[in-house]
Structure 1
Amino acid sequence: MKTSLKKASLVLSGILVGGKLLAQTADSSHVATDYVKPFSANTFYNTWSIGVNGGVLTPYTIFGSNRNQDFTHPKSEIGYGAFIKDQITSAVAFRVDYLGGKVEGNDSQVDQLGDSYSHFTTKLHYGLSLSTEITVGNISWHDNKSAIQPYFTAGGGIMSYTPVITTAAGATSNFKTDGSGSINEFYVPVGVGLKFDLAPGINLDLGYQVNFVYSDNFDGYKYGLNNDRFSYGHIGLEFALGGHKPQLATHNPVSSMRQEYLWENQHTRKELQMQIDAEKAQNDQLRNDLNTTNANLAKFTTDSDGDGVPDFYDKCPNTPPGTKVDGSGCPLPKAEVKVYVTEQDREIVKEAIRNLEFDFGKSTIREHSFPSLDKVAQLLIDKKFHLKLAGYTDNVGSVAANLKLSKDRAEAIKTYLVGKGADASLITAEGYGKAHPIATNKTAAGRQTNRRVEFSLY
């Protein structure tokens, strides 16, 4: 039974995942697709749909106790089904269902002769039924579209099945020994369920169905006066047919009536808005005329960039604050200031290289390297130096991996320096992998030396 439940869980999980994917790719907008003019014909809706489902078949039902059935210990097995449905009204639909699978149970009742059976297995070749589906709660006065539709079904049909019974000694036999052993019987399916709107035209279907067999042959053992019955709990997906139209079963006419009311008043709102826009345009024109007059008066005295030259005479407008300008408002040439790299500057960089360490095989800078890098960052900030970072590795590993690691380590140092205030435009970071070794790669010490990041200050 545990194996069967695991199989059922896999089937149900697959259907749920499929429904999620379909829901994500479907159109999430309900405004255009859900509106239908009130009192429209069914041709404006999707009335046909198909569905597939999977779940659990068991001889146990919510009606009566297990100990009163022919076999007192029901088992659970995989069941599967499909249907096609025609929605007649928003509440009533006719559907044709197919049902297949296997039903099992253990430990039969003991008859008056003292006979009993240890097990029965009934192969349900098919069950074909015509049912009426009644949907409730699809009209909402609170929401534009109801997300959940409770329903119940009832109908009748024909099923073909083969029961096999097993004695306590392990001998098996078909209940019907002539021909193929299959039995054709009338049955009545009655069910309830909930449908959830995953997306336009796609519903998640959760249901429970009890099937009343018109005989006591279904489990292969006639005991008592009651006919056999079995249940089917399932989960599945329903797909609407007919293109981009709302489903009749899920359509909310209240929302359409509200939309119709809004559209009937739209013309009045548009006329009012046109009058408001015309008045705004007149006010804007008056404001523009006033602004033009003020601008003509102020252009001889206004100094927008604050450089001391009025805009009317300023040939270089929008100079930065504090910039020294000539009589036409243009910046005076700046004297060139040269900055030289001193031995003290080089020592700061060398110290950073000596203290630089990364986590093994990663581009993560170890914490004790931070103080030396902080000094380099301050040096770049104070003197506006350019800095080139060149990352190298030993020859262990693939060329692509070494190139990536050397580049990542150089970029990690650049990111750290920029985070401390250095100008990112003055720093370049490159990775050269195992190229240009400065020591032999045949020894551990040599490989350690080759794993480096070079700093070039200029």
Structure 2
Amino acid sequence: MKTNLKRSTMLLAGLMAGGTLFAQTPDSVSTNNYVKPFSGGPVRTWSIGVHGGLLTPFTIFGANGRQDFRQPQSEIGYGGYIKKQFTPTFGLQADFLRGEVSGMRGQDGVGTPSSFNTKLNWSGALSANITLGNISWFNSKSAIQPYLTAGAGYMGYKTTTTDAGGTTTAYTNGAGENSINEWFVPVGLGFKVNLGSSVNLDLGYQVNFVQSDNFDGYNTGSSNDRFSYAHIGLEFLLGSSKTPAMSTYNPVNSMRTEYVWQNQQTKAMLQAQIDAERAKNDQLRNDLNTTNSKLDRLTVDSDGDGVPDINDKCPNTPAGTKVDGSGCPLAKPVVYVTEEDKRVVKDAINNLEFDLGKATIRARSYPSLDRVANLLTEKNFSLKLAGHTDNTGSDALNLRLSKDRAEAIKSYLVSKGANASRIEATGYGESQPIATNKTAEGRQQNRRVEFTLY
């Protein structure tokens, strides 16, 4: 039993030491455990607890070999408490405990107690509770809360001893009293684990230093008696579950949270100001673009006649046309086509020849075409060229050939100095015959390019 008790005590101490490594939950900068710094609340400060465990004269403090009964036994104990938390690290709690404490010793002879049993009818103590590990800059709430306790208490108990012969004797003090009241000093440690917003799991170990050597019914030596209590229990926080608990509230982290929030609000305000300035700049840019667009309209000259569109009463004037101040073409001088002019054109028509089935002008046609080019240049005449074919071949082929031959004549005349804008070349294919296509002579007449001078 003693070995098992030692193992249990060592395990409990290890859990309490290891609990400090996990004493904080990650910080999410949330409002779950946030209280505005220096506001005084609201926080929950009252809680009640119940617990049960093992009572034994074996303790982790002092030399157990010097106790009156050196073979401890474990008995059941139970109790509860009411706690008031004044700061995140300091609270006061009123404890209640009852149960039994038993122990044994070697066979020292007849009449010497070999075992004892003390019934702890009641005990009450007022202890300070120091919570550790819940002050952190980066963590908003303690998930595990290590603690230390120390205080003073008063208890009532009855003790019986049994000697080697099996005789049981009720212990009485010097006044002959069997029910004894005595002061004691409880010192403990442990940790609490958050199971919810209002419930904690409480694991603790407490050593009670009795202020006499009568607790085990055997008064010998110079040291007072002591006993320990290892327990597990539940703590219930009083008040609304939405209100943070003082014991898990972290004021340092709340100050950090307040700083982060204010920093976020400052950033948001500055970003809003930046966005407003950007909107103003965008509006100014749009206004400038609108103004520039209006200015551009004052100088645009789409037809290139030297008169801006805003003042141009005759838009889309052909390139090279001489215009007046309103952009309208100047009146053309009256052009008279003389009989000599007509003869020059007719001579070009009569001498016009192309390679068979092609738009290539034969060289013998050049002299008469040169005279037409000189006429167009000197008198600034306009000329319409209309190409025609017979019905030999497909319609598409004939239309393309007639157009190509008219364009070939235009290109030649332009190469000789004629104004291209005054020459119109059109192909009509076989659609406008002037003779029958049933005879070779008629087809010859239909294969022609008409010159219209104006």
Map of 2:154 onto structure 1: 158
- Equivalent residue of 1:257, what SS? helix
Map of 2:235 onto structure 1: 238
Map of 2:299 onto structure 1: none
Map of 1:138 onto structure 2: 134
Deviation at 1:271, TM superposition (A): 4.7
When residues 258 and 64 of structure 1 are mapped into structure 2, their CA distance, relative to the original with a 3 A threshold, is closer
- 2 CA distance for matches of 1:162 and 1:232? 18
Matches within 5 A, 1:3-402: 31-41=30-40, 43-107=41-105, 110=108, 115-176=111-172, 181-243=178-240, 244-271=242-269
Structure having the higher Rg: 2
Letter in 2 for 1:155: G
Q: Deviations over 1:346-392 (max 9, x none)?
A: xxxxxxxxxxxxxxxxxxxxxxxxxxxxxxxxxxxxxxxxxxxxxxx
When residues 87 and 221 of structure 1 are mapped into structure 2, their CA distance, relative to the original with a 3 A threshold, is same
Are the counterparts in 1 of residues 110 and 163 from structure 2 also a CA contact under 8 Å?
Answer: no
- 1 CA distance for matches of 2:82 and 2:64? 33
- 2 CA distance for matches of 1:198 and 1:98? 23
- Equivalent residue of 1:44, what SS? coil
- Equivalent residue of 2:261, what SS? helix
When residues 108 and 214 of structure 1 are mapped into structure 2, their CA distance, relative to the original with a 3 A threshold, is farther
- 2 CA distance for matches of 1:171 and 1:247? 54
Deviation at 1:96, TM superposition (A): 0.5
- 2 CA distance for matches of 1:34 and 1:124? 40
- Equivalent residue of 1:56, what SS? strand
Letter in 2 for 1:187: F
- 1 CA distance for matches of 2:85 and 2:152? 18
Map of 1:297 onto structure 2: none
> Structure 1 regions of 5+ residues with no counterpart?
13-28, 283-458
Deviation at 1:106, TM superposition (A): 1.1
- Equivalent residue of 2:212, what SS? coil
Deviation at 1:201, TM superposition (A): 2.6
- Equivalent residue of 1:210, what SS? strand
Deviation at 1:105, TM superposition (A): 0.5
Q: Deviations over 1:317-358 (max 9, x none)?
A: xxxxxxxxxxxxxxxxxxxxxxxxxxxxxxxxxxxxxxxxxx
- Equivalent residue of 2:32, what SS? helix
- Equivalent residue of 1:264, what SS? helix
Letter in 2 for 1:228: D
- 1 CA distance for matches of 2:252 and 2:152? 34
The CA RMSD over aligned residues, in Å, is: 3.3
Are the counterparts in 2 of residues 72 and 109 from structure 1 also a CA contact under 8 Å?
Answer: no
Letter in 2 for 1:128: G
- 2 CA distance for matches of 1:194 and 1:109? 40
Deviation at 1:192, TM superposition (A): 1.3
**TM score, norm. by length of structure 2:** 0.51
- 2 CA distance for matches of 1:192 and 1:268? 45
Map of 1:324 onto structure 2: none
Are the counterparts in 2 of residues 107 and 116 from structure 1 also a CA contact under 8 Å?
Answer: no
When residues 241 and 179 of structure 1 are mapped into structure 2, their CA distance, relative to the original with a 3 A threshold, is farther
Letter in 1 for 2:130: I
Letter in 2 for 1:106: M
Deviation at 1:259, TM superposition (A): 2.2
Are the counterparts in 2 of residues 46 and 246 from structure 1 also a CA contact under 8 Å?
Answer: yes
When residues 165 and 191 of structure 1 are mapped into structure 2, their CA distance, relative to the original with a 3 A threshold, is same
- 2 CA distance for matches of 1:58 and 1:255? 41
Map of 1:438 onto structure 2: none
Percent of pairs with identical residues = 56
> Structure 2 regions of 5+ residues with no counterpart?
13-27, 283-454
Q: Deviations over 1:60-116 (max 9, x none)?
A: 111233332111211011111211111112221111000111100112684xx9742
Deviation at 1:227, TM superposition (A): 1.0
- Equivalent residue of 1:67, what SS? helix
Are the counterparts in 1 of residues 138 and 253 from structure 2 also a CA contact under 8 Å?
Answer: no
Letter in 2 for 1:80: Y
- 1 CA distance for matches of 2:260 and 2:140? 14
Letter in 1 for 2:218: Y
- Equivalent residue of 1:123, what SS? strand
Are the counterparts in 2 of residues 66 and 74 from structure 1 also a CA contact under 8 Å?
Answer: no
Map of 1:26 onto structure 2: none
- 1 CA distance for matches of 2:106 and 2:113? 5
- 1 CA distance for matches of 2:177 and 2:62? 32
Q: Deviations over 1:215-248 (max 9, x none)?
A: 1111111121211100111122211112132111
- Equivalent residue of 2:195, what SS? strand
Are the counterparts in 2 of residues 193 and 208 from structure 1 also a CA contact under 8 Å?
Answer: yes
- 2 CA distance for matches of 1:185 and 1:154? 17
When residues 157 and 108 of structure 1 are mapped into structure 2, their CA distance, relative to the original with a 3 A threshold, is farther
When residues 226 and 179 of structure 1 are mapped into structure 2, their CA distance, relative to the original with a 3 A threshold, is closer
Letter in 2 for 1:69: Q
Deviation at 1:47, TM superposition (A): 1.0
Letter in 1 for 2:206: Q
**TM score, norm. by length of structure 1:** 0.51
When residues 67 and 271 of structure 1 are mapped into structure 2, their CA distance, relative to the original with a 3 A threshold, is closer
